[in-house]
Amino acid sequence: MKKLLVVLMSLFVLTALFAAEATPVVSWSGSASFTLGIDEKGVDIDGGLVKPSVTVSPSADTQFGVSFAIDVIGKSLSFKSLSFENNIFALDYTKGAAGFQYFVTPDKDGNYLLNAEDNISLTLKAVDGMTVVFQDVVTEVDYNTGTPTTHKWFDDFVGVTYSIANVNLAAAFYDADEATETNLYQYGLNANTSLDLGFATLELDGVAGVVDASNTVAYGISESLSAEFSIVTLTQSFAWKQNVSQFAFARDNDASSVSVKAAVEYSMPSTVTISGDVSFKIASLATPSEFTVPVNFKVAYTNMFDASLALGWADVVNAATSIKMTLAAGYKDDMVAVNASAEWADLVGAATAVDLNADLSVTPIDALTLGAAVRYASEELGYNVNANYAFDDNTTFTVFYGTLYGDTDKDGKTDIHKDDAQWYAKLSWSTSF
């Protein structure tokens, strides 16, 4: 990939030389922050830049641009991306991995399972709607000592996307094991589209491919429909998947499943909204006794008050009495917001084992917010109180005290530290540019 970068930089320089009419434009982006804090452990000062970069992008009949990541604190400048185009093609080169329709997808934090070192996106002017993507997963070439004999020749990712008649098509072929000495080739096709039916919107997605050396076939289809009729809204979805969790970089966890969902919402303008949904999912087609049925019901009034009920059977066949139940309610106006919930992991078998949560926030003036929260679970009680004052759009002062903080087990609920109350006060400043 070093040699490729040299070629790209050479093309960039040549393009710049011939772009006599180009007017250089330099733009900065990123964010900066500063924190002064004190807690039971002492005083701490922190600050710095977050993902700062500078982009130079002259423009003329021939386009070109280069982006750098700059760390002012560390006094370093690193190459980030390069793009240029001519009358025949347009090319983008970026460090790291890039998303690719179904086959390379990010998590909620934007991180990819694919650990590519570099990637290229190439579009041809003569073929409208088609893009070729190459991602360098493993560096095969050493320009000083030659290619190691243990390396496989192709340890990378190549894909083609093509959009036609509102259908997005993608084909991918790649080495899934990311090891230098072995290959685990996977390949597949994906198609998705969104159709406007006038009264409803229909989303369709399908994928099929081979996921291992034994030619195991993986496939999945999903469909969802959203329709509005005056004061009633209907939504429906269907999915059937087999072995798709074996696609290495797709973040699709449904190995073999069938799921169906239907929901309805009834609204009276500015007064009451009533909604409910029911769905079922067979977690494994090989063992259809794993049968899940959640039911949800919700009522909201003038966008201030809402309440909901959720029931779920983890396994209707083998554990029909194991029912999960959640009750929740909330109220919000310009000054006060209150939320409360009660959850039973097994309403029948362990009806007394309840997880109770409640929180309150009050905003007496625009700049000041006071808050409190409490949780009772597993015979333990946790609580916290906090306050946040905004001096301006960039500067805030926050104080906190309590035993309810953090989420180390990542279950989506704040942890209880009954014997370890934490307190802190911090002054924070941040800006984006």
Choice among 132-136, 225-229, 279-283, 420-424 with the minimum mean pLDDT: 279-283
Return d(Cα 11, Cα 84) in angstroms, integer.
8
Is 179 a residue whose pLDDT tops 90?
A: no
402's CB contacts (< 8 A; 6+ apart) are: 373, 382, 383, 384, 385, 386, 421, 422, 423
Q: For residue 384, with 0-12 CB atoms within 10 Å meaning exposed, 13-18 middle and 19 or more buried, which class applies?
A: buried
Q: b/e per residue, 322-354, with b = 16+ CB within 10 A?
A: bbbbbebbbeeeeeebebbbebbbebeeeeeeb
Is residue 373 a contact partner of residue 414, using CB atoms and an 8 Å limit? yes
Q: What is the pLDDT of residue 288?
A: 64
Q: How far does the chain reach from its first CA to its final CA, in angstroms?
A: 32
Question: CB-side exposure of 70: number of CA atoms within 13 Å?
Answer: 14
The token pair at 44 is: 């701490």
Rounded to 5°, the CA angle 163-165-166 comes to 70
The token pair at 128 is: 């409208």
Q: For residue range 76-106, what is the model confidence (pLDDT) as tens digits?
A: 666 667 777 778 888 888 888 989 999 999 8
| 433 vs 405: which has the higher pLDDT | 405
Is 425 a residue whose pLDDT tops 90?
A: yes
Is residue 375 a contact partner of residue 381, using CB atoms and an 8 Å limit? yes
Instruction: Specify the 3-state DSSP secondary structure of 245.
Output: helix
Q: What is the pLDDT of residue 417?
A: 93
Q: For residue range 20-46, what is the model confidence (pLDDT) as tens digits?
A: 444 556 666 777 787 888 877 778 777
Provide the pLDDT confidence category of residue 63 given band limits of 50, 70 and 90.
Answer: very low
392's CB contacts (< 8 A; 6+ apart) are: none
Choice among 286-290, 344-348, 368-372 with the minimum mean pLDDT: 286-290
Choice among 246-260, 279-293, 391-405 with the minimum mean pLDDT: 279-293
Is residue 165 a contact partner of residue 189, using CB atoms and an 8 Å limit? no
Q: What is the pLDDT of residue 174?
A: 93
Is 180 a residue whose pLDDT tops 50?
A: yes
| 5 vs 357: which has the higher pLDDT | 357
Is 59 a residue whose pLDDT tops 70?
A: no
Average pLDDT of the chain, as a whole number = 80
Is 18 a residue whose pLDDT tops 50?
A: no
Is 132 a residue whose pLDDT tops 80?
A: yes
Q: What is the pLDDT of residue 17?
A: 40
| 336 vs 296: which has the higher pLDDT | 336
Q: What is the pLDDT of residue 150?
A: 63
Return d(Cα 97, Cα 2) in angstroms, integer.
16
Q: Beta-carbon neighbour count of residue 357 at 10 Å?
A: 19
Q: What is the pLDDT of residue 322?
A: 76
Over range 387-392, report the average pLDDT.
94
Over range 330-345, report the average pLDDT.
93
Return d(Cα 330, Cα 340) in angstroms, integer.
6
Rounded to 5°, the CA angle 426-33-394 comes to 75
Q: What is the pLDDT of residue 43?
A: 82
Q: What is the pLDDT of residue 52?
A: 67
| pTM, two decimal places | 0.65
